[in-house]
């Protein structure tokens, strides 16, 4: 792994750990499972994830970050994909490379890690235990793909 990628992943893990203690991973989507979903279900999962993140921010009365999140993921650009979703998918690609590396104490990155990374890169503040609150929302109303999963 290149030094830049290692530094990037280390900072991501520190950010995630700092935001997520204690994180219960039961509702976190593993990247290989996400990759087995149909493209439409992947798109729907990203929308679902963003809606839950926005809900957490609104419930915490953090209106400015909620508005930033809505702006980032709200306007569809080229190909019907928002700037936020495009960045999210780029961050997911980086995290896939991390999965190929030996495991760390923080555990494997998840699809939700890509969202946290996207928000962080866009200077959207996530105070307190944002990731834990997001995980709670994901557990309350789980996502169910409409199409069957693709093979390995």
Decide if 152 is inside a domain: no
Decide if 149 is inside a domain: no
Decide if 62 is inside a domain: yes
Residue 143 in contact with residue 31, Cβ under 8 Å? Answer: no
pLDDT at 100: 85
HSE-up of 7 (CA within 13 Å, CB side)? Answer: 3
Decide if 146 is inside a domain: no
Decide if 148 is inside a domain: no
Mean pLDDT in consecutive groups of 10 residues from the start of the chain, 152 residues: 57 51 61 95 96 96 96 86 94 93 82 96 92 94 91 70
Decide if 90 is inside a domain: yes
Q: Which domain holds residue 52?
A: 3-140
DSSP string, 37-61: S-HHHHHHHHHHHHHHHHHHHHHTT
Total count of domains within the chain? 1
Go through the chain and tell me how many residues it has. 152
Decide if 145 is inside a domain: no
Sign of the four-CA dihedral 123, 16, 64, 77: positive
pLDDT at 24: 43
Beta bridge partners of 110: 30
Decide if 117 is inside a domain: yes
């Amino acid at each position: 792994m290149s030094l830049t990628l290692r530094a990037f992943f280390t900072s991501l893990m520190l950010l995630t750990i700092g935001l997520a203690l204690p994180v219960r991973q039961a509702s976190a989507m593993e990247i290989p499972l996400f990759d087995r979903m149909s493209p439409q279900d992947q798109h729907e999962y990203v929308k679902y994830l963003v809606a839950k993140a926005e809900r957490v921010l609104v419930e915490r009365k953090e209106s400015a970050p909620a508005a930033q999140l809505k702006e980032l993921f709200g306007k569809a650009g080229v190909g019907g994909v928002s700037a936020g979703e495009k960045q999210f998918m780029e961050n997911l690609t980086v995290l896939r490379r991390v999965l190929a590396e030996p495991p760390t104490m923080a555990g494997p990155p998840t699809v939700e890690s890509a969202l946290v990374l996207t928000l962080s890169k866009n200077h959207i503040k996530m105070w307190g235990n944002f990731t834990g609150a997001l995980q709670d929302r994901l557990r309350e109303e789980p996502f169910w793909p409409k199409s069957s999963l693709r093979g390995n």
